[in-house]
């Protein structure tokens, strides 16, 4: 496809599968641990794995003094604020709803892109935003629905998930400052290290006793290791060469697969319902995200052809 190798597309799909499955693994870990414990353990394991990757690949982890404050702010937005929103939000919403809300991050990045980076947004892109948002509403809607009271998407869970989205938007603004200066492994490693120390005091104060009370079994250990390795390490290592090969905009299109894959995985692993309403919502989200990434103005071309 346009000179891009099959390996690039394979890595992109593998990264999306890893992130989609993370919403399923989180649900499994939550059967045993609270969100703070889950986040802290996930970051600890991911940090160990990333340090090994950096050592094997001989990737420098040194940070310039003038950038230290930016790394602290980066880790505060994500993983700290992002994981607080996502992990606590996932206690209340279904895996599919959670994945759908998170998949709107590229849409919300449009506003700071226009205001701070002077990026152009066409009416087609705006139409995509509205279509994608309507898809989320469609998936949360049930007969006799009252906003915030759906068992799959209560208001508390939806609000927390959108807090995660907002955190990711600020993260994307900060990452622009660091992306050209450091290797991706260096950035992700320091994210995990600083994020771990952000969460450690909260874990020790609120969750330590509950953590000690749980006797880990095969299901828990397997899900936690998978969450740490695939979602926090492998997905990023696969996604980095994709961005380098086809660019950030085209790479983000693959994020459209996350809610679809999560819905499929949740159906087989967690026995979540796969209704016609959910299928319609997924179609709207996918269509909206496609339009939001389209170059040029489709409506202008259509009217000009008349």
For residue 302, count other CB atoms closer than 10 A to its CB: 10
Give the pLDDT of residue 306. Answer: 46
Instruction: Please enumerate, as own/partner, the contacts of 200-203 that have beta carbons within 8 Å and a separation of 24 or more.
Output: 200/40, 202/36, 202/40, 203/36, 203/37, 203/39, 203/40
pLDDT value, residue 105: 78
- pLDDT digit string, tens, across residues 130-185: 787 777 667 666 545 454 555 566 888 889 999 998 998 888 788 777 877 888 89
Q: What's this model's pTM, rounded to 2 decimal places?
A: 0.77
Task: Report how far residue 22's alpha carbon sits from residue 170's, in angstroms, rounded to the nearest whole number.
Answer: 22
- Residue whose token pair is 């279904």: 94
Task: State the residue for tokens 């330590």.
Answer: 208
Q: Could you tell me which residues are beta bridge partners of residue 149? A: 154
- Per-residue pLDDT at 77: 94
Distance CA 83, CA 95 (A): 15
Query: What pLDDT score does 43 carry?
Result: 94
193-229 burial, b if ≥16 CB within 10 A, otherwise e? Answer: bbbbebbeebbeeebeeebeeeeeeeebeebbebbbb
Q: For the chain (length 306 residues), average pLDDT per consecutive 10?
A: 70 88 88 93 95 92 95 94 90 79 75 65 73 72 52 80 90 79 89 95 95 94 94 84 67 72 78 76 78 60 50
Q: Exposure string (b/e) for 35-59, b if CB count within 10 Å is 16 or more?
A: bbbbbbbbbbbbbebbeebbeeeee
Looking at residue 4, its pLDDT comes to: 58
How many H-runs (helices) and E-runs (strands) does the chain carry?
17, 2
Q: Give the pLDDT confidence score for residue 253 in this predicted structure.
A: 64
CA 207 to CA 221: how far, in whole Å?
A: 18
Q: Cα(12)–Cα(264) distance, rounded to whole angstroms?
A: 18
- Please name which of 24, 14, 92 lies closest in space to residue 269, comparing C-alpha atoms: 24
pLDDT value of residue 179: 76
Domain ranges within the chain, ordered by starting residue = 6-304
3-class secondary-structure state, position 119? coil
CA distances from 252 to 93, 124, 162, 256, 300 (A): 24, 17, 19, 8, 24
| DSSP of 7-74 | HHHHHHHHHHHHHHHHHHHHHHHTTTS-HHHHHHHHHHHHHHHHHHHHHHTT------GGGHHHHHHH
């Amino acid at each position: 496809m346009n000179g891009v190798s099959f390996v690039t597309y394979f890595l992109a799909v593998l990264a999306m599968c890893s992130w989609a499955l993370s919403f399923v693994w989180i649900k499994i870990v939550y059967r045993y641990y609270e969100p703070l414990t889950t986040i802290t353990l996930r970051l600890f394991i991911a940090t160990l794995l990333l340090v090994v990757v950096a050592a094997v690949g001989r990737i420098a982890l040194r940070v310039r003094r003038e950038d230290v404050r930016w790394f602290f702010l980066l880790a505060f937005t994500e993983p700290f604020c992002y994981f607080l929103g996502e992990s606590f939000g996932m206690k209340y919403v279904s895996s599919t709803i959670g994945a759908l809300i998170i998949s709107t991050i590229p849409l919300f990045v449009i506003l700071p892109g226009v205001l701070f980076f002077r990026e152009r947004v066409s009416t087609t892109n705006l139409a995509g935003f509205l279509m994608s948002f309507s898809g989320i509403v469609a998936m949360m809607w049930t007969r006799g629905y009252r906003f915030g009271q759906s068992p799959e998407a209560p208001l508390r869970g939806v609000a927390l998930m959108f807090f995660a989205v907002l955190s990711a938007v600020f993260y994307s603004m900060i990452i622009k400052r660091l992306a050209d200066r450091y290797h991706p492994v260096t950035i992700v490693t320091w994210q995990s290290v600083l994020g771990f120390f952000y969460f450690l005091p909260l874990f020790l104060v609120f969750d330590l006793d509950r953590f000690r009370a749980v006797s880990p079994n095969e299901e828990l250990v397997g899900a936690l290791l998978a969450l740490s390795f695939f979602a926090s390490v492998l997905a990023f290592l696969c996604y980095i060469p994709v961005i380098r090969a086809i660019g950030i905009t085209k790479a983000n299109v693959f994020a459209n697969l996350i809610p679809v894959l999560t819905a499929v995985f949740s159906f087989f692993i967690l026995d979540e319902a796969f209704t016609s309403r959910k299928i319609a919502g997924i179609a709207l989200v996918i269509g909206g995200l496609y339009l939001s990434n389209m170059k040029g103005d489709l409506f202008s071309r259509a009217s000009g052809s008349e």
